[in-house]
Amino acid sequence: MQGLNPFMFIFALVGNSTYVASILVRSMDWFRIRPNLPWLVDAGGCVLLDTFIVIQFKCFYKWAPQDSEDKHETS
């Protein structure tokens, strides 16, 4: 398999999730969340996009031929 390592997306997902959680666990009061809202939106968006990429990887990895012999048998 070539390309990007899927663990990179897993670690980014975990890192951004814990970052969002650390801001929200500190306080749920709006006056504390409001100044951090740009970082929450940024990290939350990254969590959503990374989750989407990991789901795509799992779906397409399952459908892709696993060894190079499968590609040559059809010709």
Output the pLDDT for position 18. 96
Can you give the pLDDT at residue 70? 53
Position 22 pLDDT exceeds 70: yes
Nearest CA to 6 out of 69, 42, 56, 41 is that of: 56
**Is 0.75 topped by the overall pTM?**
no
Query: pLDDT confidence of 2, banded at 50, 70, 90?
Result: low
Report yes or no: 23 and 39 within 8 Å, Cβ to Cβ. yes
Element (H, E) at 69: helix 68-73
User: Are 13 and 7 a contacting pair, CB within 8 Å?
Assistant: no
**Tokens standing for residue 37:** 């809202």
